[in-house]
């Protein structure tokens, strides 16, 4: 029988903030944008007592908890702690499938001879994570990924749930909302049809479920029966790397939008450079004041990982949006069709400008590694600079508002 673990850090971003700043401990903390149009990226357990949850609009979070403490995200810090956590995972098995910075599947079937059964390995990992980071994690142990993920969420925080050999029996009494993909919109429909638990879904007529859920219905029935043959897939490659921000005040001019796209392009380029990958396509996303979402995509002439090339593509795409009288509340940039930077096909004649741009990105990355949280930005993003300035010189920003600081993937550059 396979032994699959799902390890999920407890309120990861918020817990990192409370660990790093003792004054936040015991207080209702959320990580996210300070503006009321933002969303909650993570909520501490103290905030969850008020009904505050991740992905909740910040305005709603404030309504539910008047004493809410909002902390801006520090992507670089979370990535650093995440690496420590994943190092612990790799101490126990090479079969680690990361789902995000704070959770992963581990196949420990072949590790039992060294560390004991799945439950023993999960306990050992939880202890090692505390030793390495001072943070707690919850774990689920099962013979399949679906059951392991559900189990890890049943005893939070700092929990450990082991699914017995009778996986279907374990799942049967759980409410249908435990099934991935069944949320506030789908659940009422299923409940009206008499499906209240996963056991009901497991016993359902396949045709009836297909009529209710479409082609997804048969898969739901099999998962509810504990049939999930999916393997743990290690080192899953990223499909895209992106950055986006929601603004307190709508953007109304092309120049304002272009400047935000430069900030996003710089952030994306930093992450591409750090990962040693390049993008063959760029996507620009705009959300209008009425929540309409517009996107435009283009393929690059050759794969790139530098700010200038990505931003130039963004400006071309920007001209394809209907911006007359538009009021934009969110802008975003993502790099897609990713591949190893070293795999880019060399040309007969070297492009000195392209080499220089890649050199700038490497200088920025080294400066960030050297100076840590000291903010670094492009001159074009300073208050008196044009968003289309030709130069992209790296300059340290002394002081300034949190919005101007971005030495890490979690902050704006």
Residue among 131, 88, 94 at smallest CA distance from 111:
94
- Judged against a pLDDT cut of 90, whether residue 37 lies above it is answered with no
Average pLDDT in the chain: 83
- Judged against a pLDDT cut of 90, whether residue 377 lies above it is answered with no
User: How high is the pLDDT of residue 363?
Assistant: 54
- Judged against a pLDDT cut of 60, whether residue 253 lies above it is answered with yes
Q: How far apart are CA 125 and CA 107, in angstroms?
A: 13
Domain 1-164, architecture per CATH: 2-Layer Sandwich (3.30)
Do 313 and 268 form a contact (C-beta atoms < 8 A)? no
Read off the pLDDT of residues 277-325 as tens digits, 9 standing for 90 and up: 889 999 999 999 888 889 999 999 999 999 999 999 999 999 999 999 9
Instruction: Give the pLDDT band (50/70/90) at residue 365.
Output: low
SS in 3 state form for the chain?
A: CCCEEEEEECCHHHHHHHHHCHHHCCCCEEEECCCCCCEEEEECHHHHCCCCCCCCEHHHHHHHCCCCEEECCCHHHHHHHHHHHHHHHHHHCCCEEEEECCEEEEECHHHHHHHCCHHHHHHHHHHHHHHHHCCCEEEEEECCHHHHHHHHCCCCCCCEEECCCCHHHHHCCCEHHHCCCCCCCHHHHHHHCCCCEHHHHHHCCHHHHHHHHHHHHHHHHHHHCCCCCCCCCCCCCCCEEEEEEEEEEEECCHHHHHHHHHHHHHHHHHHHHHHCEEEEEEEEEEEECCCCEEEEEEEEEEEECCHHHHHHHHHHHHCCCCCCCCCEEEEEEEEEEEEEHHHCCCCCCCCHHHHHHHHHHHHHHHHHHHHCCCCEEEHHHCCCCCCCCCCCCEEECCCCCHHHCCCCCCCCC
User: How high is the pLDDT of residue 67?
Assistant: 95
Residues of the chain with CATH 3.30.1490.100: 240-404
Instruction: Give the pLDDT band (50/70/90) at residue 29.
Output: very high
* CATH no. for 169-224: 1.10.150.20
User: How high is the pLDDT of residue 161?
Assistant: 98
Burial of 5 (0-12, 13-18, 19+ CB in 10 A): buried
Here the tokens at position 72 are: 């801006």
Q: Mean per-residue pLDDT for 260-281?
A: 88
- Judged against a pLDDT cut of 50, whether residue 411 lies above it is answered with no
Residues of the chain with CATH 1.10.150.20: 169-224
- Judged against a pLDDT cut of 60, whether residue 128 lies above it is answered with yes
Q: Which helix (H) or strand (E) holds 104?
A: strand 103-107
Q: How big is the chain, counted in residues?
A: 413
- Judged against a pLDDT cut of 50, whether residue 345 lies above it is answered with no
Read off the pLDDT of residues 81-97 as tens digits, 9 standing for 90 and up: 999 999 999 999 989 99
Read off the pLDDT of residues 319-344 as tens digits, 9 standing for 90 and up: 999 999 999 999 999 999 888 775 44
- Answer with the residue of higher pLDDT: 376 or 169: 169
Instruction: Give the pLDDT band (50/70/90) at residue 362.
Output: low
The verdict on pTM exceeding 0.75 is: no
Residues of the chain with CATH 3.30.70.270: 1-164
User: How high is the pLDDT of residue 216?
Assistant: 85
Do 210 and 201 form a contact (C-beta atoms < 8 A)? no
Do 280 and 339 form a contact (C-beta atoms < 8 A)? yes
User: How high is the pLDDT of residue 45?
Assistant: 97
Instruction: Give the pLDDT band (50/70/90) at residue 374.
Output: very low
- Judged against a pLDDT cut of 70, whether residue 380 lies above it is answered with no
| Strand 4-9 to 29-32 pairing | unpaired
User: How high is the pLDDT of residue 407?
Assistant: 32
- The residue assigned the tokens 């393929």 is 299
Instruction: Give the pLDDT band (50/70/90) at residue 347.
Output: very low
Q: How far apart are CA 390 and CA 380, in angstroms?
A: 8
Percent of the chain with pLDDT strictly greater than 90: 60
Query: Lowest-pLDDT range, 190-199, 352-361, 388-397?
Result: 388-397
Instruction: Give the pLDDT band (50/70/90) at residue 243.
Output: confident
Catalytic residues: 103
What are the Cα distances from residue 358, in Å, to 286, 299, 355? 27, 19, 5
Q: Mean per-residue pLDDT for 137-149?
A: 97
User: How high is the pLDDT of residue 413?
Assistant: 34
CATH superfamily of 240-404: DNA polymerase, Y-family, little finger domain (3.30.1490.100)
User: How high is the pLDDT of residue 397?
Assistant: 29
Instruction: Give the pLDDT band (50/70/90) at residue 20.
Output: very high
Q: Mean per-residue pLDDT for 374-400?
A: 39
User: How high is the pLDDT of residue 237?
Assistant: 61
Q: Mean per-residue pLDDT for 220-227?
A: 94
Percent of the chain with pLDDT strictly greater than 70: 81
Here the tokens at position 210 are: 């297909």
Q: Mean per-residue pLDDT for 165-174?
A: 96
Q: Mean per-residue pLDDT for 94-108?
A: 93
């Amino acid at each position: 029988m396979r032994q699959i673990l799902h390890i999920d850090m407890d309120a990861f971003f918020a817990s990192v903030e409370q660990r790093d700043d003792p004054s936040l401990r015991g207080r209702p903390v959320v990580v996210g944008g300070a503006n009321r149009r933002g969303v909650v990226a993570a909520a501490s357990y103290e905030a969850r007592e008020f009904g505050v949850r991740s992905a909740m609009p910040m305005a709603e979070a404030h309504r539910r908890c008047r004493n809410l403490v909002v902390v801006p995200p520090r992507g670089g810090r979370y990535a650093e702690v995440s690496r420590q956590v994943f190092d612990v995972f790799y101490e126990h098995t090479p079969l680690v499938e990361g789902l995000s910075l704070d959770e992963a599947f581990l196949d420990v079937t072949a590790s039992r001879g060294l560390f004991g059964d799945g439950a023993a390995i999960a306990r050992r990992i939880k202890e090692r994570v505390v030793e390495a980071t001072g943070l707690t994690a919850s774990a689920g142990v099962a013979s399949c990924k679906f059951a392991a993920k559900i189990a890890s969420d049943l005893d939070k925080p700092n929990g450990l749930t082991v699914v017995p050999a009778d996986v279907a029996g374990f799942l049967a009494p759980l409410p249908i909302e435990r099934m991935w993909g069944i949320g506030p919109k789908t659940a009422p429909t299923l409940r009206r049809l008499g499906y209240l638990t996963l056991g009901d879904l497991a016993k359902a007529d396949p045709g009836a479920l297909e009529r209710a859920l479409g082609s997804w219905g048969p898969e739901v029935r099999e998962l509810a029966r504990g049939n999930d043959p999916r393997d743990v897939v290690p080192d899953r490659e990223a499909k895209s790397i992106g950055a986006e921000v929601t603004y307190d005040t709508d953007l109304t001019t092309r120049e304002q939008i272009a400047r935000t796209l430069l900030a996003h392009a710089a952030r994306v380029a930093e992450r591409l450079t750090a990962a040693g990958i390049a993008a063959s396509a760029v996507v620009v996303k705009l959300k209008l004041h009425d929540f309409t979402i517009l996107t435009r995509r283009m393929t690059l002439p050759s794969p790139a990982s530098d700010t200038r090339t990505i931003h130039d593509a963004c400006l071309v795409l920007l001209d394809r949006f209907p911006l007359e009288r538009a009021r934009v509340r969110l802008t975003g940039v993502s790099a897609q069709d990713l591949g190893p930077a070293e795999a880019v096909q060399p040309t007969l004649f070297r492009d000195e400008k392209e080499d220089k741009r890649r050199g700038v990105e490497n200088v920025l990355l080294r400066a960030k590694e050297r100076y840590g949280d000291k903010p670094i930005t492009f001159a074009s993003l300073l208050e008196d600079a044009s968003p289309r300035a030709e130069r992209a010189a790296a300059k340290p920003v002394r002081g300034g508002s949190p919005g101007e600081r971005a030495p890490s993937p979690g902050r704006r550059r």
